[in-house]
Amino acid sequence: MSKYSIFSLVRNAISYHENWAAAWRSPEPKQEYDALIIGGGGHGLATAYYLAKEHGMTNIAVLEKGWIGGGNTGRNTTIVRSNYLWDESAHLYEKSMQLWEGLSQDLNYNVMFSQRGVYNLGHNLQDMRDIQRRVNANRLNGIDGHVVSPEEIKRAIPEINIDQGCRYPILGASFQPRGGVARHDAVAWGFARGADRYGVDIIQNCEVTAIRQENGAVTGVETTRGRINAKKIGVVVAGHCSVLAEMAGFRMPIESHPLQALVSEPIKPIINTVIMSNAVHGYISQSDKGDLVIGAGIDGYNGYGQRGSFPTIEHTVAAICEMFPIFKRVRMNRQWGGIVDTAPDACPIIGNTPVEGLYFNCGWGTGGFKATPGSGWVFAHNVATGEPHELNRPFSLDRFVTGFLIDEHGAAGVAH
Amino acid sequence: MSDLFQQESPLVQIEFSEPKGAAPRIEEKPFNGYLNLRGRSDHTGFIAGVLKVLGVEAPTEANTVIDAGDNRIYWFGPDEWLIVTKPGQQTRVRNDLLAAFAGVFSSVVDNSSGLTTIHVTGDNAAALIATDCPLDLHPREFKPGQCAQTRLAKAGMTISPLADGSGFELIIRRSFADYLLLWLQDAAIAFE
Amino acid sequence: MSQRFRTAQGGRVDREREIQFTFNGKSYTGLAGDTLCSALLANGVHMIGRSWKYHRPRGVMSAGSEEPNAIFQVEKGNRTIPNARGTQVELYDQLDASSVNCWPSLDLDLLSINSKFSRLMPAGFYYKTFMWPQSMWMKYEHFIRKASGLGESPRELDPDRYEHTHAHCDVLVGGGGVAGLSAALAAGRAGARVIIADEQSEFGGLTLASKARIDDGEASQWIENAVAELQQMPEVTLLPRSTVFGYHDYNFLTINQRLSDHLPLAERPASREKLWQVRAQQVVLATGAAERPLIFANNDRPGIMLASAASIYSNRYAVQPGSRAVVFTNNDSAYQSALDLKAAGVEVEAVVDARAGSDSELANTVRSAGIQVINGSVVIDTAGRKRLSSVQVMRLSAEGSSVSGETRALSCDLLAVSGGWSPVVHLNAQSGAKPVWDEANAMFRPGEPTQAQFSAGGANGTLDLAGCLQEGAAAGNQAAIACGFEASTQPARAEPIDSQAILPLWLLPSPYTPGRGPKAFVDMQNDVGAADIALAVREGFKSVEHVKRYTAMGFGTDQGKLGNINGMGILAASMGQSIAATGTTTYRPNYTPVSFGAFAGQNLGDRLFDPVRKTAMHAWHEENGALFEDVGQWKRPWYYPKDGEDLQQAIDRECLAVRDSVGILDASTLGKIEIRGKDSARFLEMIYTNNWMKLEVGKGRYGFMLGEDGMVMDDGVTIRLAEDHFFMHTTTGGAAGVLAWMERWLQTEWPEMEVFLTSVTDHWATAAVVGPKSRAVVSAVCDGIDFSAQAFPFMASKTGTIGDVECRVNRISFSGELAYEVNIPANHGRFMWEKLMQAGAAFNITPYGTETMHVLRAEKGYVIVGQDTDGSVTVDDLGLNWALSKTKDDFIGKRSLSRPDTVRKDRKQLVGLLTEDPQTVIPEGAQLVDDPKAPTPVPMIGHVSSSYYSACCGHSIAMALVKGGRDRMGDTVYASLAGGRVIEATITESVFYDKEGAKADV
Amino acid sequence: MFLIECPWCGLRDETEFSCAGEAHIARPLETEKLSDEEWADYLFMRSNPKGAHREQWLHAAGCRRYFNALRDTVTYKISATYKIGETPPSEGKK
Ligand SMILES: Cc1cc2nc3c(=O)[nH]c(=O)nc-3n(C[C@H](O)[C@H](O)[C@H](O)COP(=O)(O)OP(=O)(O)OC[C@H]3O[C@@H](n4cnc5c(N)ncnc54)[C@H](O)[C@@H]3O)c2cc1C
Ligand SMILES: NC(=O)c1ccc[n+]([C@@H]2O[C@H](COP(=O)([O-])OP(=O)(O)OC[C@H]3O[C@@H](n4cnc5c(N)ncnc54)[C@H](O)[C@@H]3O)[C@@H](O)[C@H]2O)c1
Ligand SMILES: Cc1cc2nc3c(=O)[nH]c(=O)nc-3n(C[C@H](O)[C@H](O)[C@H](O)COP(=O)(O)O)c2cc1C
Ligand SMILES: [Zn+2]
């Protein structure tokens, strides 16, 4: 497989791009693998990549029911940050951030990770206390970020409305300069290509329909493309994790909800950073193509429909117009939804399950895109060794039994 | 000083002006008495108590309102009603009900200052309310004698068509009243 | 008249009304009834923009919402519209339009250099490069971003308003062509409530540009009559300029109605757009069919347009879309365009038909009109830099897979293409149906409806006029019948036309080696060529969704309306599979882009974005200079600065006034719930952590509510008014949630309990009168209550009157002072407040807000749920174990308190902090460490949740949650702040003032 | 956007309601006797099916009653709503 570079681009241009190899093969599934990863989203593909790269496990396959990256990976607002409140989360997301910082080079695939900074706005006094608390914790954990005043926000984002007379005035924000956005599809494709290069089989249109076990240990799966055996199985199916758990005979502390997003028509650059507001429920950045990418709040009911309700969109757009009144004449091009797997403490579940050899990585809810490389990295460790990595040990399923929840709801105002 | 002089409507900060153009008229009917009534509609003691004090039985048909002399009774739920009395009558009606319900599982709570009434009248009354009320206000669907608890913009309300067909009565919460009136007045611009 | 290409007669434009407009700074005239595009064409302006990636010259492709090229910035300043589709912009006087995405000008676009390097920029090239050095990406990205995007965002505030409305109907008809009008007539005549919406300014659809006849008259006359009849029907609503842009679950559809963009700026009404949220019993989709272009080399030059567009410009807008035309088709409909062009005075060089023969009636009419028909041939390339100058034609092999023979050049400045028709299935697909491929007619037809819905006319794949009329009427009848009406409208009549089968063609055969010839565009807006699709497949992107994302096909403002079906055909061919197996991408709202303002409607600004909840005393607070704090939706007085005071000075004064004399706080926002029924106490035993059975009547008690996870959820004082009657207070922010929470337990878990809950938050206005002189103040105001310490002890509740209004007074203290909360029906709230102010004047009664309230309670170590707790804090963590009943078997959350994590010894516990320097206030949110010099990551032991300067104590005070804090009294800890600043503090108890509680107990 | 049949008020717009999650999760009676696992099961574990789901809704802006609905989480079709205490309709899996 040829390396991507400006030189290979020129070379191939001369031969009319007729000689590019497939970014990944499309092999027939084998009967047996050393490990299976179920779910070809960013997390699953990253897991496969790091299993091969870091743990030398190359006789493995990723099984994807549709097309890779077609789940939440392909429909998220791509915000990347690591400024989480609690130590456990901060360490995990920061590991991910560090991987992001060299990811394009590592994968030899430009995932367009753009460190344009992320602002989390505060609209009332309690928001500002929470922001201070989080930023202080971040600093002590070695994560960049500081608190900025409305005036500083205005200097960085001239289009924003910091009028203190408005309904929910902007009182300040946390700012993480290393945060930003990335090209979501490229993340899936880059990891797929990277994993493929190590020999990992990426098998699309292959839905897992049953998980087979003997004596409490997994033996393989039934799929729409036949039975595939393996003694280690990592399940990374985001919104579908309860469905897979049911196949394996247990339940998860997860609800799958619709989460919606939308884009405007493409316009010339106007927003050069990422702005998030939990209080008024709107998140906005501008893609390299020019569309404003806007995320909404979650819909209140369980839903696997990849669509939500209209009022959610209505309120989100109002929130954006409240923060950016000049955008009222900009038009919305498209809206869509994903299926997010929400855990009671808004934190992921990564680790072993009641079934031996079966590992789950889920619960990333509304905010797991940013964790894609880090999640894959720790989960690969867990699948390869059968034991959690220090970074994911606190995120085990049994925290719901012990009560050791890592509640990112309250103070950190987690979302995206 | 009579106690009426010591009252202030929740809408004290709102300026009511003459409607412009085809905009509907919006007026407040302040200071009614509002009693929240709870009880089990299949309990004879409860039924009898209401009948005794108000002269009628509390409506059990969903989404209806009935006149009971000076008072009106709105169905709020299977075991909940709103009694609207003439200004100043609430305490007497409440006390009578409480007396009539002795020993009966029930509740009569004075919420008179918690609510107020708005009338929206004129050709575009339904259109004005429909700006952000999801209920079907068409006269085929929503007739005098019916009422509904629903929402208007981001606040709850109880709505019923006025008997003369001239518009609607809205019963709204005190703390949202100011917002709702500003909201209606803003929506009315579309009809000016 | 400067409109050189305006036909002498005909059309639906008003020749009496000339309209001035400018394009790229140059002034032109058009006619009323024109669109921006028809007016430009009337002036012979064909190159109207540049493409997105390669900056190739582009012209008008269509006459409707599928337009990919004719994208303009309309107007400047506060009414500017980015990315307006010129085919749908109605011309008005002084309209100002310019091309987007070209610099310095349309004619001389420097980025057209990209076109020279286009081979370096195939689909997805950016994933393969710009990676080295790593640090440079942000620079590369800067230029990539600058080059992308189409129009410019407005920079000024929008002066227009946007409206919303909800609407309900029996039958919603989407699309007002002849099929839609027929449906609306049928349903309307039956008496149904009908809404019919069409995105265009006039109803009639494609037929407006047709010379066909309906019911023995001109089609346009029939349309006029139909509209007039509908207008007469009281239950029918006609919405022109209204796009049905979303079809959601439960027959909920959203419509964007444009009210003003078609008017000169000076004449515009206040409202620009209206968003309709419609619930329909039945839906008839009559959105028509859209013509597809054909895919051949250089198929994107200005002067190449859809054949139907050529007809529309000729017939409806009275414009010659060129002087010399070639028509290129694979089906019958474009023959009509040849006739229409000829009738408009355009010289028609030839009709090039890919089919070997064509002998339909229409084709023969064309021949007999003297137009040459070249059968069995295709256009393989075109010439002309900024305007088409000629096309090259070759013969197609019998099986249609290659071309051969001589290249024949036909000189022309207009190429009208037709690759067949695609029913506009967007709304049907949005509603949940899956479009079905019809191989014979080479089109996706609407799928089996999943909601109460019909498709009719072009939208249903029915292309002949008679069929459209018939299907429309049938759908209207059926929809009305389904709503319970009797309906039997007979369809209008039109001549059936004979037609010959289409020859489906996707990527046309050409003499070029695939991928090596000039670009053949599929998605014009995003410059996606057929070769890009092939490349994507080669690189492994085989799902249609992958191809979309890798090439950006269908990602533009037209959402692939023009190009997608061809793209899918080409993809299917590249993969060697059928189109049915290839499938479509997902159809989603919006059908066409809708301005953000329309979604927001009037829900914006300080008053209307979200409800502002006000207490009965709000106006008084305003009049007396209060600043407000947002607590939930409520506005609460924050503090009342006196001339020149800053926050600290004001609260110092307010605090001292309370402690020394008396203060008054508006406490009306606290949630208040009446609880009635014989099981009320038993219910409270479950809801709260402490005991309630034995509480005396007339007394109150403070309680904590937990979630089932054991964490503190809310707190407040509940008073027993009678054996079976309680009055609960909740936090301001928690009120609605607590009521719903308690109702849920009652209704779903313990329905046998006799308990009724009623919210009375709004009914009561509450003034907390606080301080040593409070007794004197309330005694002076409230009659009928003995305020003596013995008669009215702490935590007691009594009723009395103020004037002749009943009031309730609770002796509750959130400050450690002697204090009374006086409640009165809120209509009398201001009256009560002013009475209290009057009575307090002698003691210099001082109104105070939430900030002083916070300081006072912190001095006493009282917690605020939501500030000192965050969903991970238990009652024990707060050191308030006394509030946990030791005797109850159960209460909500109890079981969670014995989980391994909740019994951990090193949980974070609430403690007090005293700073080394008494004047230094630790910022709230500071993290605490044992060793500020420890290497990163620095272990944190807790954080400061509340922190103030206490004027009463004369030093700063703080509350913090610290790991194992209660065992660490006297330890030194450090608040580690930004910039290396460190504040040293000692762990203490959290009560700082009047530790014995003597002040409240007087 | 759902149209939900409140068993008391009839068909109303989704915006009048709020969803309260999975239905028929009875609170255990003797909570102190439960193991940590059993308690966690009650507290956190949910069936979250793809398909027929029994769930609670609150008619928040209407009659303030909780009720149950049987709703498909993929098509979003509500096949039945029923009052608290009524037996759930048997349709759907499980
Ligand atoms: C609208 C929206 C906005 C968001 N915004 C952000 C954001 O700004 N920042 C952020 O960090 N996160 C965000 N998120 C969350 C983020 O998208 C997800 O947490 C993350 O992408 C999850 O990745 P994943 O690989 O685990 O899941 P997915 O990408 O969903 O992948 C799971 C895959 O499993 C497959 N699968 C399911 N069942 C089976 C089966 N039986 N057999 C085989 N395969 C199966 C699915 O088809 C899918 O491809 C957002 C999410 C949404 C929906
Ligand atoms: N000869 C042919 O091959 C051929 C092909 C196609 C159509 N036609 C002719 O075209 C006509 C078709 O009539 P019809 O009524 O089915 O279609 P139509 O195209 O005439 O009308 C559809 C209408 O729907 C509107 N519309 C589309 N999407 C909309 C949306 N989302 N919201 C609001 N409005 C929307 C369009 O603006 C248009 O006015 C007939 O006269 C037919 O003969 C002929
Ligand atoms: C970050 C981001 C940017 C997007 N930008 C566009 C865009 O410019 N144009 C567009 O049509 N869709 C855009 N989409 C939306 C996709 O077209 C698509 O709706 C989304 O990936 C969900 O897939 P689905 O609609 O096929 O279910 C974008 C999606 C994401 C996640
Ligand atoms: Zn109801």
Residue D85: partners with Cβ closer than 8 Å, 6 or more residues away: C751
pLDDT on residue C107: 87
Q: Which ligand is nearest to the CA of C461?
A: 2
Distance of CA C561 to the CA centre of its chain: 22
Could you write out the DSSP letters of every residue in C406-423? EEEEEE-SEEEEE--EEE
Residue D91 inside a domain? The answer is no
At C867-922, the pLDDT tens digits run 999 999 999 999 999 999 999 999 999 999 999 999 999 999 999 999 999 999 99
B27-58 confidence digits (pLDDT tens): 999 999 999 999 999 999 999 999 999 999 99
Backbone angles phi, psi at C780, to 5 degrees: -70, -25
Tell me the average pLDDT across C682-709. Answer: 97
Q: Is the bond preceding C590 in cis, omega lying within 30 degrees of 0?
A: yes
pLDDT of D12 higher than 60: yes
Residue D94 forms part of a structural domain:
no
Pocket flag, ligand 1, residue A208 (CB < 6 Å): yes
All CATH 1.10.10 domain ranges of chain C, comma separated, are: 511-575
Helix, strand or coil for residue C33? Answer: coil
Minimum CA distance residue for ligand 3 atom 11: C555
pLDDT of residue C110: 85
**Nearest residue to A284 via CA among A259, A301, A264:** A264
Which of A153-157, A346-350, B3-7, B90-94 bottoms out in mean pLDDT, i.e. has the lowest? B3-7
What is the mean pLDDT of the segment spanning A376-392? 98
Question: Domain C895-988 falls in which CATH fold?
Answer: Elongation Factor Tu (Ef-tu); domain 3 (2.40.30)
Q: pLDDT at residue A181 above 90? A: yes
Edge-to-edge, what's the strand order for the sheet holding A226-229?
Answer: A208-214, A217-223, A226-229
Answer whether residue C831 shows pLDDT above 60. Answer: yes
Percent share of chain A, pLDDT over 90: 96
| Contact call for residues A412 and A345 (beta carbons, < 8 A) | no
Q: Say yes or no: domain C161-289+423-482 is CATH 3.65.10.10.
A: no
């032109």: which residue's tokens? C28
Q: State yes or no: pLDDT of D67 exceeds 80.
A: yes
Is the CB of D13 less than 8 angstroms away from the CB of C279? yes
- Which residues, 6 or more positions from C329, have their beta carbon under 8 angstroms from its beta carbon? C307, C335, C351, C352, C353, C354, C417, C418, C419
In the predicted model, is pLDDT for residue C622 greater than 50?
Answer: yes
Q: What is the largest CA-CA distance in chain B?
A: 56
Every domain range in chain C assigned CATH 3.30.70.1400 = 671-762
Q: Identify the three-state secondary structure at position C188.
A: helix
Instruction: Give the class (CATH, top level) of C671-762.
Output: alpha beta
Percent of residues in chain A assigned helix, strand, coil, to nearest 5: 35, 25, 40
Q: Which residues of C touch A403 (CB under 8 A)?
A: 709-710, 896, 899-902
Query: What domains are there in chain B, each with its CATH number?
Result: 24-30+114-191 (3.30.1360.120), 33-112 (3.30.70.1520)
Note whether residue D43 is domain-resident. yes
Contacts of A400 in chain D (CB under 8 A): 40, 43-45
Averaged pLDDT, C78-92 = 98
CB contacts < 8 A (C, D): 55
Distance between CA atoms of residues B95 and B35, nearest Å:
11
Confidence of residue D91 (pLDDT cuts 50, 70, 90): low
3-state secondary structure of C850: helix
CA distance A243 to A241: 5
Query: Does the model's ipTM exceed the 0.90 cut?
Result: yes
Beta-bridge partners for C257: C242, C274
Q: How far apart are CA A248 and CA A235, in angstroms?
A: 11
Q: In the structure encoding, which two tokens stand for residue B22, read together?
A: 């085809």
Tell me the mean pLDDT in the region C955-983.
97
pLDDT digits (tens, 9 = 90+) for C639-685: 999 999 999 999 999 999 999 999 999 999 999 999 999 999 999 99
Q: How far apart are CA A40 and CA A62, in angstroms?
A: 6
- Looking at chain C, which residues constitute the CATH 3.50.50.60 domain(s)? 161-289+423-482, 293-419
On whether the CB atoms of residues A167 and A322 are closer than 8 A, the answer is: yes
Please give the full DSSP string across C217-243, using - where no structure is assigned.
EEHHHHHHHHHHHHHH-TTEEEETTEE
Segment A223-240 mean pLDDT: 98
Confidence of residue C800 (pLDDT cuts 50, 70, 90): very high
CATH architecture type of domain C511-575: Orthogonal Bundle (1.10)
pLDDT surpasses 90 at A407: no
Question: At D15, which CATH number?
Answer: 3.30.2270.10
Range of the domain at D63: 3-26+39-83
Do the Cβ atoms of B138 and C168 come within 8 Å? yes
Count of all residues that appear for chain C in the document:
1002
% of chain D at pLDDT higher than 70: 96
- C-alpha C83/C-alpha A331 separation (Å) is 9
Q: Decide if C744 and D58 are in contact by the 8 Å CB cutoff.
A: yes
- Confidence band for A410, pLDDT divided at 50, 70 and 90: low
pLDDT per position as a tens digit, B168-191:
999 999 999 999 999 999 999 999
CB contact at 8 A, C712 and C874: yes
Q: Which CATH number fits domain C14-130+144-148: 3.10.20.440, 3.90.190.20, 3.40.50.970, 1.10.3720.10?
A: 3.10.20.440
pLDDT at site D93: 41
**Which chains contact D through at least 3 pairs of Cβ atoms less than 8 Å apart?**
A, B, C
pLDDT at B109: 98
Give the least confident one: A195-199, A280-284, C410-414. A280-284
Residues of A in contact with C589 (CB under 8 A): 334-335
Considering chain A, what is the average pLDDT of its residues? 96
- What residues are paired with C32 via a beta bridge? C14
Rounded Cα gap, residues A230 and A228, in angstroms: 7
| Whether this model's pTM surpasses 0.80 | yes
Percent of chain C past pLDDT 70, that is, above it, reads: 100
pLDDT computed for residue B4 by the predictor: 47
> Are C821 and C768 contacting, i.e. CB atoms less than 8 angstroms apart?
yes
Ligand 3, CB within 6 Å, residue ranges: A 74-76, 78, 184, 263, 287, 289, 291, 293, 306, 333-334, 336; C 545, 555, 559, 585-586, 588
Spell out where A54-159 has E strands.
60-63, 79-80, 118-122, 146-148
* Mutation site for A-interface testing, chosen from D13, D39, D50 by largest number of A Cβ within 10 Å: D50
Chain A environment of C590 (Cβ under 8 Å): 332-335
Of D15, D19, D73, the CB nearest to A304: D73
- The pLDDT, as a whole number, for residue A1 is 59
DSSP bridge pairs for C665:
C768
Neighbour tally for B55: CB within 10 Å: 12
What is the reported pLDDT for D92? Answer: 46
Residues of chain C with CATH 3.10.20.440: 14-130+144-148
Report the top-level CATH class of C293-419: alpha beta
The answer to whether residue D60 is domain-embedded is yes
Q: Indicate the residue of A167, A204, A327 with minimum beta-carbon distance to C596.
A: A327
- Asked whether residue D34 is assigned to any structural domain, the reply reads no
- How far from C472 is each of C210, C374, C422, C433, CA to CA, in Å? 18, 36, 18, 20
| Confidence band, pLDDT 50/70/90 cuts, at residue B132 | very high
| Domain assignment of residue D93, yes or no | no
Tell whether domain C618-669+765-856 is in CATH 3.30.1360.120.
yes
The amino acid sitting at D87 is T
Band the pLDDT of A333: cuts 50, 70, 90.
very high
- Select the residue from D44, D53, D59, D71 to test the A interface by mutation, using most A Cβ atoms within 10 A: D44
Residue C937: asked if its preceding bond is cis (omega within 30°), the reply is yes
Closest residue by Cα to residue C874 from A156, A407, A74? A407
Confidence of residue C118 (pLDDT cuts 50, 70, 90): confident
- How far is Cα D5 from Cα D16, in angstroms, rounded to an integer? 11
Which of C164, C634, C830 comes nearest B132 by C-beta? Answer: C164
Mean pLDDT on C776-800: 97
Total CB pairs under 8 A between chain A and D: 72
Judged by average pLDDT, the poorest of C362-371, C398-407, D55-64 is C398-407
Cα dihedral: A148, A152, A156, A161 (round 10): 100
Q: Compute φ and ψ for A393, nearest 5 degrees.
A: -55, -45
Between the alpha carbon of residue C87 and those of residues A410, C83, C565, the distances in Å are: 51, 12, 21
CB contact A11 to C (< 8 Å): no
Flag whether D51 is in a domain: yes
Ligand 1 centroid – CA A340 distance (Å)? 7
Number of domains in chain D: 1
